[in-house]
Amino acid sequence: AADGRTNPDIVPMALQEMKKTGERRHCKWCGKYKPDRCHHCRMCKTCILKMDHHCPWIYNCVGFHNYKFFFLLLFYTMLATHFIMWTMTESMVRAIDENAPFVTMFFLLFGLTLAFFLGTMVTIFFGFHIWLTTMGLTTIEFCEAKFPKKESEKGGG
């Protein structure tokens, strides 16, 4: 620009991911420009920047703009399931000591078992996302690095 500042509309070419032909990448599904670390979600029918995954539990994509909230959801879910598990353990011990009715013991044991398995699964999932965050990866990038596509499966775009 004439005032000596750089033009904010011009991005250095080294920062843009290019195809082998030198052209800019475009999404083969929506046809829009596809920046680095961007993936198309077929469920949402749009490209998501730094897409981690499409989450069926929140019925939305987890990406750059809402990963923090997804991470907090996992954290609070983990805390809640652990709290339920540890408080129900005390209730189950008390029910056994006081010889509670069968239905009470059944529901306590069922709830405790459910809380244990859900708590274990959410804790493992949360630990995986802590590791992904420290590595600077998304779930999609982790899967692409772990299970690379064969040459016959690679598409242009």
Q: Please identify every residue annotated as catalytic.
A: 55
C-alpha separations of 32 from 35, 97, 150 in Å: 9, 66, 25
Q: Which residues contact 29 (CB under 8 A, 6 or more apart)?
A: 40, 42, 45
Q: What is the amino acid identity at position 66?
A: N
Q: Give the separation between CA 76 and CA 6, rounded to whole angstroms.
A: 44
Residues in the chain, overall count = 157
- Residue 70: which of 56, 80, 84, 88 has the closest Cα? 56
Asked if residues 65 and 72 have their Cβ atoms less than 8 Å apart, the reply is no
- Residue 24: which of 36, 39, 37, 8 has the closest Cα? 36
The DSSP code for 26 is B
